[in-house]
Amino acid sequence: MNDWYRVPGIYSKFLLQGIMCILMPVIILLVIYYNGDGIFLFISGFLCLSLVIINVKTHYDLLGELDFFSPGVAFPAAYISIIGIALASFSMEIGYSYNAEVTSKDIFYYLVGLLCYAWGNIFASSLYTRKSKFLYKGVVNTWSKRELLKWGSVIVVVGSIGTFIYYSKMGVPLFGNVDEIRHGFQGRLYGIGFSFPLLQGLNFVLLVYLIYRYSKKLFAVRMLVPILWILLLTALTGYRWLCILFIAVPLTGYNYIVGRFKFNLKTVGAIVILAIIILSFHGLLGYQRSITKRTESEHLRNLESMNIPSEFKYFAPVLFSLQHPSVSFSKLINLVPDEYDYFYGKYALAQVPIIQRIFPSLSQENVGVYITDTIFGYDYRAGSGGTAMSIIGSLYIDFGPLAIIVGMAIIGFFLEITYLRAAETPSLLNITVYSFLLWTVIKWIVAGVCVGDLLVLLMILAIDKLIRKKKSSVY
């Protein structure tokens, strides 16, 4: 009776589906009748905590052990950490605190978003009919080394040419006006709009394959050059989150190919060291971007106005990138729909590359600049370009609270389905797809939902078709 709600059991499956059917109307009613009272915040917080705990237990029952990279653990941990750091720093009047007014309504919507995400996870798990625990008996290799080397070389050459054409015409983003240069390729036939996602797709496939093939022999030296080359091209764009994906995606692949991380002192120490390296790299890129827009003395004065010691100037961009979405959302719910109407899908459409070419007025920079300059005011943040909306804000700006409910549930549902597919059939492709989607969704917590990111997923599927071998082998 200890496993009374265990997902693989038929009775627990019906019980969970019943809970899901009851919870969704409750969530909708909470949002409709929310008036700022503490009781609504308490109820939503209690439901959120309960569902997150159930979600973690569900994943534990599916695998027989706690998987830190499962959708029920990794995303909630990142979501709570990112938003928690932002809110805590505001309370200490550090960073954007002078420009933020976080209310109980903000926190309520954050809780609703996480609650609906967990709802989507558990609902997907309850539909799964497998009656036994997932057993990782081996990773299925579906990729040919010869084809990978052949097509990988072609992709690197073509992608590099496209990228350098872009740089020669627009300049290198990291060493110039980042926003202006990066937005310059919108609507153009050349540039990194196509070639760079292709390189990123190859990057993830290549790294996961190397982990599979050389997990006990470390990385092959002859493959180190293309890896460093792709990393260099990634860093030159100034996209800090892409550099984080470069590390995080293969790390997740390593977890499933070599063996799931155990929660011990060695693992925690390695993760802490890796986190420091990532944050330092993230900060250095952010610092370089900052001083291209202003002198270093101006940058230091800006830090001083935000109550950040100059000794932490390299880590300040990390804090700002975590705070910025919360600042945006706190302003957004005060202005939309009271002063500005919802976008009714325009924000989501602006993230789709094909739509941007057909309807230039819906390009990402046009919509993003409108939000920054018109809704928030140009002096809202230094520089130009769009505003980081956060995963909650990007859903809210299109259709309001209902979009948060539906959108977060859909994200949780499909991420869980992808995870279950990878757990059932741990092929290199399934592991790569899930690893990419997990960290893309985590990136959305800060950057906002961007459908254009899924272009990289299409590239991964295309590369899989090119390098797939006739017969699979089990590692």
pLDDT at 320: 76
Q: Which of 21-35, 106-120, 262-276, 375-389 has the highest mean pLDDT?
A: 106-120
Taking 70 as the threshold, does the pLDDT of residue 391 lie above it?
Answer: yes
Residue 139 in this model has a pLDDT that exceeds 50: yes
CA distance 239 to 391: 18
Distance separating alpha carbons of residues 241 and 101, to the nearest angstrom: 26
User: What is the average pLDDT across 128-134?
Assistant: 52
Whether the model clears a pTM of 0.85, i.e. scores above it, the answer is no
3-class SS string, 120-161: HHHHHHHHCCCCCCCCCCCCEEEECHHHHHHHHHHHHHHHHH
Q: How far apart are CA 413 and CA 421, in angstroms?
A: 12
pLDDT score for 113? 94
Question: Residue 131's pLDDT is what?
Answer: 42
- What is the pLDDT averaged over residues 424-447? 91
pLDDT digits (tens, 9 = 90+) for 47-84: 888 888 888 887 777 777 778 888 999 999 999 999 99
26 compared with 304, residue with greater pLDDT: 26
The DSSP element (H or E) to which 470 belongs, if any, is strand 468-474
User: By the 8 A CB rule, do 398 and 351 touch?
Assistant: no
Find how far residue 341's CA is from the centre of its chain.
Answer: 27
**pLDDT for the residue 472:** 61
Length of the chain in residues, anyone?
475
- Map out the domains of the chain as residue ranges: 10-136+395-442, 140-292+455-474
Q: Confidence band (pLDDT; 50, 70, 90) for 339?
A: confident
Mean pLDDT rounded to a whole number for the chain: 76
Task: Give residue-wise pLDDT tens across range 227-246.
Answer: 777 777 777 776 777 777 87
- Tell me the pLDDT band of 396, cut-offs 50, 70 and 90: very high
Higher pLDDT, 366 or 21: 21
Average pLDDT over residues 156-166: 77
Q: Name the residue with higher pLDDT: 129 or 32.
A: 32
In this structure, what DSSP letter does residue 474 have?
E
For 358, counting Cβ atoms within 10 Å of its Cβ (0-12 exposed, 13-18 middle, 19+ buried), the class is exposed
Q: Is the pLDDT of residue 400 over 80?
A: yes
- Average pLDDT (273-288) is 66
What is the pLDDT, as a whole number, of residue 190? 41
Query: What pLDDT band is residue 474 in, cutting at 50, 70 and 90?
Result: low
Strand pairing of 468-474 and 140-143?
antiparallel
Distances (CA, A) of 136 to 64, 128, 334, 336: 11, 17, 49, 48
Where is average pLDDT lowest: 162-166, 180-184, 197-201? 180-184
Q: Is the pLDDT reported for residue 410 higher than 90?
A: yes
Alpha carbons 440 and 136: distance in angstroms, whole number? 24
Name which residue leads in pLDDT, 233 or 153.
153
Lowest mean pLDDT among 182-191, 212-221, 287-296: 182-191
Higher pLDDT, 141 or 295: 141
Higher pLDDT: 369 or 379? It is: 369
**Among 209-213, 269-273, 458-462, 467-471, which is the least confidently predicted range?**
269-273
Mean pLDDT of 259-274: 66
Residue % of the chain over a pLDDT of 90? 15
Average pLDDT over residues 273-280: 68
Lowest-confidence pick of 149-153, 169-173, 177-181, 183-187: 183-187
Q: What is the DSSP secondary-structure string of 146-210?
A: HHHHHHHHHHHHHHHHHHHHHHHHH--GGGS-HHHHHHTTTT-SSSHHHHHHHHHHHHHHHHHHH
